Structure 1
Amino acid sequence: MLMPKVHNRHRLWISSLVALFILVAIYFMSVWLDASGLSTNLEQRNLGPSSQHLFGTDWLGRDMLTRTIKGLALSLQVGLVAGVSSVIIASIMGLAAAIMGEMVNRIVGWLTDLFLSVPHLVTLLLIAFVLGGGAKGIIIGVALTHWPSLSRVIRAEVRQIQTAPYIAISRNFGKSSWWIATRHIIPHLIPQLLVGFILIVPHAILHEASITFIGMGLSPHEPAIGILLSESMRYLSSGIWWLALFPGLCLLLLVRAFAMLGENLKQWVDPRHAHDN
């Protein structure tokens, strides 16, 4: 039984390190790559992949590798901010529902069911449209549409923690609800919040790309992945396949790296898998 456990633990560590390497590499490459690759150069337009331009160039002679990496970094920033915002909302809602009485619990439950009854993308489109698009609209839209599922987890976890003996002992000693929440409840929620954050980020990145693809997201002047894919659709019939292939593959790689981190972390913090790792 020891060998499968060791093998599974090594697999989790290796896959997590690979995912972290991908994310760190994207960040440092976005800083390292010269912004001159984003400038127009009509003499080098529509060049295929080569040693000079690994991802080729577009119809304005811009380097697609530079545009893709800069776009991934931009999507990563939007996804991280949106994920943090969503986790904060979920934490507040979950704690309020579990601590502040039955009336607040019913209100939070009603809001949770309301947001879960509508597809994320539809609500996100409406919010982004009302806010005029852009990074602000996407971040607010993701934060307002991705908190319900995590909020349910937090609420259930808090209710379970409240039945623990040390909570009853703290109440008998006259400790306030705020003291119990900050000293006993919130520290126990950190693993769930971290896993929820990492799993929300890839959803935020994909939603940002999809909304930007249809023209309601980031500005067309920014090298966002959704914009690159949207622009490339007009040139696929001309055989300029690299405009869509490389940005699309890199987007999937980024999302998969985050999803892998989230799944591995979930196994580490889940008591049902703790003895297997």
Structure 2
Amino acid sequence: MVKMLGLKSLRPLLFDILWVYEGVTDDPYGEFFIAENKSLQKESLSQDYDAKYWRQRYSLKDDIPSFLSDAAETILTTGKYLNVMRECGHNIQVPMSENSKLMSFGSNHHYLECIKAAYEFASGELLNLIKEKYDLMGKLRSIKHYLLLDQGDFLVHFMDIAQDELAKKPDEISVEKLQSLLDLALRTTAAAADPCPEDLTCCVERTTLLKRLSTLKDLETGETVSDGNDLEEPVSITGLETFALSYKVCSSSWHAYFLFYLILSLSFLVPIFYIGDPKLR
């Protein structure tokens, strides 16, 4: 009886080992304290900027074992990092030496140190993967130049040469012509030094910028986005109100797009995104 109770109490740790060291769940009876929502697919990230994949594909249940409650968030995040790399074809496993096995803890709560070590390894591997293989800093540098207008002379030139086209109504504008003019502006200004100018594209939205911002605000606050015009559109809008720039994060690799999207949610990367970082210049 005592042996059976002991094995039952260790069951959460058996799930932990697979999740924390490999980013895999094997829980057919729903006993693990991390829930998996299989209806959410990573492919949705390329179509919906507000996709819930990262936050809701894997989440904590309410019934977390008391001795793991303080480490539950770390356990969840560690497995997510490993799972992200696995989904992108990089099967990374946390090294499990004799001194770092979760099952070897004693009264000193050694398992907390094991979980912390696994978290640091997984987060470091994911960061290195995105920085080295998928050129995170280069992409951020380009975004700074183009979308934050660190080198905004290309936009001034573009607005001058595209003035006539942008003065038209949205349904009369030729997006192909705008893209051609944008490419010309990129080639003849300081932006020409960027290694990936072809990743910057333009489009004409169906609504104005203010309407789009209002919609984004509703999504962020969880309010229902209605079709009604809470924010009245101008009677007549032109390309000046609906023109938008778009930056393709990764034109050649879907995996890189997936990783770059998810990296925006990783708290340990926040310092990198500081716009004053000299590495982004």
| Bigger radius of gyration among the two | 2
TM-score (norm 1): 0.29
Decide which structure has greater strand share: 2
Decide which structure has greater helix share: 1
